[in-house]
């Protein structure tokens, strides 16, 4: 008889399980990164195969669980390292008193996991954006901190509805919303091609940058390039020319407008 097809968990469900269980592997108790996380079952998913109905009923009874206990419900799901999950395999744990604590922990977290999933998925495009961000996290193009920032908007504030076309993925691996760009345009260095590039780089400047950095309008690698300053004659970063905040020995008199 063919085995039952395994359930595929959504990005939102994976995040909620990982987040609500303290971002640790339940098997080894070590910190767990989201890209390394897999969803593990306390009672294995293989028990859902038709030929294992008697074994499933026996395991549910042995652990004192209700007859309608859901193998793929949040009360049976933990975050784990992929390697830990694979090592455990489809083992059915025999009942020991310590299992009561494990199952109680699962039960107490299940409602929190469900609420987290519902909050993230509420509002159509929110879930779509979350999926985009999770995909970018798995590919290494954004950081976990940036994903957490997106999720905090979803959980704590009315979430803005963003289309994928409104998200800019920068070449340093970070992302930015187009509506938040404070300056954009080709790098303003005097070279015909930017540092480590065959052409001028089109730049997007993020909110929170110092006004000096934004006004310079330089690609980050051009900004950080060490040159002989035409104003003070010393070696320092190209982006620090005329700056009174940095290493230039001949700063502009008018720092706001970057002129004498």
**How many domains does the chain fold into?**
2
- Cα dist from 92 to 24, 67, 99, 158, whole Å: 22, 17, 12, 43
15 and 95 assigned to the same domain = yes
**Measured between alpha carbons, how far is 197 from 200 in angstroms, rounded to an integer?**
7
Does 123 score more than 60 pLDDT?
no
In a domain, 190, yes or no: yes
Tell me the residue length of the chain. Answer: 260
The closest alpha carbon to 210, from 239, 173, 179, belongs to 239
Residue 187, pLDDT score: 94
Quick one: average pLDDT of 188-213? 88
Residue 28, pLDDT score: 84
Q: Write down the pTM of the prediction.
A: 0.53
What percentage of residues in the chain have a pLDDT greater than 70?
Answer: 78
The closest alpha carbon to 150, from 127, 124, 180, belongs to 127
In a domain, 156, yes or no: no
89-111 pLDDT per residue, tens: 777 777 666 677 888 888 888 99
Q: Considering 83, 101, 121, which residue would you say is the last residue of a domain?
A: 121
Does 179 score more than 70 pLDDT?
yes
Does 86 score more than 80 pLDDT?
yes
36-49 pLDDT per residue, tens: 888 999 888 888 88
Does 22 score more than 60 pLDDT?
yes
In a domain, 43, yes or no: yes
51-68 pLDDT per residue, tens: 888 888 888 888 888 888
Residue 157, pLDDT score: 44
In a domain, 115, yes or no: yes
Neighbours of 171 (CB within 10 A): 14
Q: What is the DSSP letter of 89?
A: T
Report the relative pairing of strands 175-177 and 183-186 from DSSP bridges. Answer: unpaired
Element of type H or E holding 70 = none
In a domain, 6, yes or no: no
115 and 187 assigned to the same domain = no
What is the pLDDT of the chain when averaged over all its residues?
81
In a domain, 142, yes or no: no
Report the relative pairing of strands 226-228 and 235-237 from DSSP bridges. Answer: antiparallel
159-171 pLDDT per residue, tens: 344 444 566 666 6
What are the CB-based long-range contacts (under 8 Å, 24+) for 196-205?
196/221, 197/221, 204/168, 204/170, 204/176, 205/181
In a domain, 101, yes or no: yes
254 and 185 assigned to the same domain = yes
Residue 8, pLDDT score: 84
107 and 188 assigned to the same domain = no
**Measured between alpha carbons, how far is 142 from 244 in angstroms, rounded to an integer?**
33
18 and 116 assigned to the same domain = yes
How would residue 226 be classed by pLDDT, with cut points 50, 70 and 90?
A: very high
201 and 109 assigned to the same domain = no
In a domain, 128, yes or no: no
Chain centroid to CA 145: 6
Q: Considering 69, 96, 121, which residue would you say is the last residue of a domain?
A: 121
Does 84 score more than 60 pLDDT?
yes
Quick one: average pLDDT of 169-187? 75
Q: Considering 73, 100, 121, which residue would you say is the last residue of a domain?
A: 121
Structural domain including 221 reads: 181-260
């Amino acid at each position: 008889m063919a085995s039952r097809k395994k359930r595929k968990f959504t990005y939102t469900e994976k995040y909620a399980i990982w987040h609500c269980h303290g971002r640790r592997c339940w098997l080894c108790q070590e910190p767990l990164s989201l890209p390394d996380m897999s969803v593990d079952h306390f009672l294995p998913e293989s028990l859902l195969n038709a030929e294992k109905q008697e074994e499933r009923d026996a395991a549910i009874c042995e652990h004192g669980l209700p007859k309608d206990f859901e193998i793929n419900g949040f009360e049976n799901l933990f975050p784990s390292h992929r390697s830990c999950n694979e090592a455990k395999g489809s083992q059915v744990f025999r009942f020991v008193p310590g299992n009561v604590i494990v199952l109680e922990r699962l039960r107490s977290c299940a409602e929190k996991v469900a609420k987290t999933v519902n909050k993230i998925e509420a509002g159509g495009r929110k879930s779509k954006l979350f999926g985009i961000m999770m995909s970018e996290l798995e590919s290494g193009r954004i950081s976990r901190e940036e994903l957490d920032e997106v999720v905090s908007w979803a959980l704590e504030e009315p979430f803005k509805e963003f289309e994928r076309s409104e998200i800019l993925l920068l070449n340093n691996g970070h992302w930015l919303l187009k509506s938040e760009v404070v300056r954009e345009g080709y790098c303003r260095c005097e070279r015909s091609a930017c540092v480590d590039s065959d052409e001028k780089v089109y730049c997007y400047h993020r909110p929170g940058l110092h006004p000096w950095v934004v006004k310079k309008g330089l690609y980050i690698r051009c900004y950080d390039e060490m040159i002989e300053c035409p104003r003070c004659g010393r070696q320092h970063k190209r982006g620090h020319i005329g700056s009174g905040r940095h290493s230039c020995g001949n700063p502009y008199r008018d720092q706001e407008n970057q002129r004498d």
